[in-house]
């Protein structure tokens, strides 16, 4: 039977594929793909876990005191039987072999299948046996977590795709939510779309899906409960609808729309090497946001003229808390710099904290032990300054990479003059340590992220110490409006068009220009064509976005006259409804399409 699930549309387009459920569990489960050569070892991990739990249960049964109820012994027998049942561990192996899931993910996927089967049983007694299956599976998951799994596919490594394991069917990810670290694993893999129960337009799942031009619906509430493994899904990223097991007529209609979207992407792709120059001759710098060194090649292919944001924190994730050393970081930064062939590479120092913890345990610690509100807690430059050895290690690695090309350093979430002084002192000490060791490095510009209102209001003073600034609109909006962008209960209040937000951005751009300093925007607004005209009207000439968004933004740039845009800016900034005023004033500014 076909059903529809409604949520928030966050990335346009149509995705069609089989559902892959990342089921939530009372045990935290790692999700990653394993390469073909590690399939056997992953199955061995599962076997070792099964044998260990079997021994544990047998020992518990043997050591039962004489006065223990006979039902307890019988229950342990049931758990032992379930543990060795092919429908649990045997079928779990199939997920590992056919989908390349790691053992934990494969087990949780099979648990989801079995749980649904039990829920559909007519016999009440049998339905209640679902709890026994869950308890056995959770014992296995806990052992696997303790057993220190082998590293997930390393950062930058090629992740298996559907065709690599014999499947040609596209896959759609369905989850309660997806952690930022998991998104790095997933974004290079098999998924053509995303559906999550929670989240808003600026959740990390939404941001990654949008930047990769992958259709997505978030905040779908009951999606992971209503959708089953391997259901056929259609994601309508325009309407925010997920159609489960569509009829053949509906499926064909959406396949037609999908083909139309592919033709549009191909048309935009022809612009990738066209210079981004407005109708009145204003050159606009379109830079790329990247997470890993391998993304640099994608940025070049998309026509980026540099990297405006290298999110270095993703080198620190999916490592179980084992931080990368100086040499490992140096190699990653150097590889990205070399790959950009002399174009500028802006490396942001590690932005850890809040919704981007170092590992799975640290998120719980940040939320419950160290901070009531992690978004306002120890994160970004605050965390780096609290770990001076780690921070200087990263700064030395970046400086060493600067010997191979044009490197700039970007400091996240700066708000206090004291933080600026400590940061520049750490950089000076890192330089001195490299000098003492005889290591070469180049000249680097140092910039600050403007992502809290305090920084935007004090940007004139900050520019006394920094060479450039980069506006991080995602956090700037969050902190200006006091909206937790990861909380779907208030995410509808997250408003990039809010007059206060626009004023802070416009003032930052204006002050940077007045001081002759560089300014760019690297948040979501930079890659959203709805804001391109407005940012150009403010005087912005440097945008940084995911490579997949460059062609669409370039098309917009090629069609406008910035002089006419600037003339309408005061009316937009003073309007009660800036979005409506911008639509009224800027729409006529567009020329006829000429870049197809």
Three-state SS sequence of 510-531:
HHHHHCCCEEEECCHHHHCHHH
- % of residues, the chain, pLDDT over 70: 84
- When pLDDT is cut at 50, 70 and 90, the band that residue 509 belongs to is very high
Average pLDDT over residues 172-188: 69
Q: Give per-residue pLDDT as tens, 516-575.
A: 999 999 998 999 999 999 999 999 999 999 898 899 999 999 999 999 999 999 999 999
- % of residues, the chain, pLDDT over 90: 53
Active site residue 513: no
Local structure of residue 349 (DSSP, 8 states): P
Sign of the CA dihedral running 33, 35, 36, 40:
negative
- CA distance linking residue 141 with residue 143, whole number of Å: 5
Place of tokens 């999606």: 223
Where exactly are the structural domains of the chain?
Answer: 3-23+155-263, 36-146, 270-589
- Supply the pLDDT for residue 114: 85
Active site residue 204: yes
Domain 36-146 has CATH 2.40.10.10: no
Cβ–Cβ < 8 Å for 221, 176: no
Task: Classify 3-23+155-263 by CATH class.
Answer: alpha beta
Instruction: Point out the catalytic residue in the list 31, 100, 522, 546.
Output: 522
Cβ–Cβ < 8 Å for 27, 181: no
* Axis crossing angle, helix 91-99 with helix 103-119, rounded to the nearest 10: 130
What is 114-175 written as a DSSP string? HHHHHHT-S-HHHHHTHHHHHHHHHHHHHHHHHT-PPPPSPTTSPPP-GGGGT--S-EEEEE
Q: Is the whole model's pTM more than 0.95, yes or no?
A: no
Which one, of 525, 521, 522, 508, lies nearest residue 579 by Cα? 525
- Supply the pLDDT for residue 318: 66
Instruction: Point out the catalytic residue in the list 204, 416, 439, 546.
Output: 204
Place of tokens 């296995």: 140
- Supply the pLDDT for residue 128: 66
CATH code of the domain occupying 270-589: 3.20.20.60
């Amino acid at each position: 039977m076909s059903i529809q699930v409604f949520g928030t549309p966050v990335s346009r387009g149509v995705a069609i594929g089989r559902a892959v459920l990342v089921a939530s569990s009372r045990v935290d489960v790692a999700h990653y793909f394993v390469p073909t050569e590690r399939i056997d070892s992953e199955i061995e991990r599962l076997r070792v876990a099964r044998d260990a739990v079997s021994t544990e249960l047998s020992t518990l049964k043997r050591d039962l005191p004489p006065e223990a109820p006979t039902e307890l012994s019988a229950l342990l027998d049931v758990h032992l039987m379930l543990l060795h049942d092919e429908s649990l561990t045997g079928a779990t192996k199939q997920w590992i072999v056919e989908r390349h899931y790691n053992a934990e993910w494969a087990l949780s996927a099979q648990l989801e299948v079995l749980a649904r089967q039990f829920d559909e049983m007519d016999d009440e007694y049998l339905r209640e046996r679902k709890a026994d299956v869950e308890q056995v599976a959770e014992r296995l998951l806990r052992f696997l977590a303790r057993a220190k799994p082998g590293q997930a596919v390393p950062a930058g490594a090629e992740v298996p795709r559907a065709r690599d394991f014999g499947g040609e069917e596209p896959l759609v990810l369905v989850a309660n939510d997806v952690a930022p670290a998991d998104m790095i694993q997933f974004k290079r893999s098999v998924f053509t779309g995303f559906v999550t129960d929670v989240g808003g337009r600026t959740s990390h799942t939404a941001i990654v899906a949008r930047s990769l031009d992958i259709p997505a619906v978030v905040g779908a509430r009951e999606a992971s409960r209503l959708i089953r493994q391997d259901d056929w899904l259609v994601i309508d990223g325009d309407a925010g609808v997920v159609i489960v097991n569509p009829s053949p007529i509906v499926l064909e209609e959406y396949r037609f729309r999908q083909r139309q979207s592919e033709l549009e992407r191909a048309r935009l792709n022809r612009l990738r090497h066209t210079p981004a120059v407005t109708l009145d001759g204003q050159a606009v710098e379109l830079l790329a946001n990247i997470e890993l060194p391998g993304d640099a090649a994608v940025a070049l292919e998309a026509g980026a003229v540099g990297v405006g944001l290298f999110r270095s924190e993703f080198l620190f994730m999916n490592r179980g808390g084992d931080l990368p050393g100086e040499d490992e970081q140096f190699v990653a930064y150097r590889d990205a710099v070399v790959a950009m062939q002399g174009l500028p590479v802006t490396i942001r120092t590690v932005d850890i904290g809040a919704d981007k913890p170092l590992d799975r345990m640290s998120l719980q610690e940040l939320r419950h032990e160290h901070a009531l509100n992690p978004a306002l807690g120890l994160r970004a430059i605050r965390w780096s300054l609290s770990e001076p050895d780690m921070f200087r290690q990263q700064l030395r690695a970046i400086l060493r990479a600067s010997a191979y090309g044009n490197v700039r350093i970007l400091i996240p979430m700066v708000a206090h003059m004291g933080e600026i002084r400590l940061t520049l002192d750490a950089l000076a000490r890192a330089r001195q340590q490299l000098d003492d060791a005889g290591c070469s490095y180049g000249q680097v510009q140092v910039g600050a992220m403007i992502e809290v209102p305090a920084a935007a209001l004090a940007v004139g003073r900050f520019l006394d110490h920094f060479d450039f600034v980069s506006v991080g609109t995602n956090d700037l909006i969050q902190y200006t409006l006091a909206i937790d962008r990861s909380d779907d209960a208030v995410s509808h209040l997250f408003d990039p068009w809010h007059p206060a937000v626009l004023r802070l951005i416009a003032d930052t751009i204006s002050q940077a220009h007045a001081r002759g300093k560089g300014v760019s925007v690297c948040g979501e607004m930079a890659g959203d064509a709805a804001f391109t005209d407005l940012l150009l009207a403010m005087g912005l000439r440097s945008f940084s976005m995911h490579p997949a968004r460059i062609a669409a933004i370039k098309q917009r740039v090629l069609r406008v006259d910035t002089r006419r845009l600037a003339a309408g800016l005061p009316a937009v900034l003073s309007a009660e409804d800036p979005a409506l005023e911008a639509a009224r004033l800027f729409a006529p500014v567009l020329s006829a399409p000429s870049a197809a």
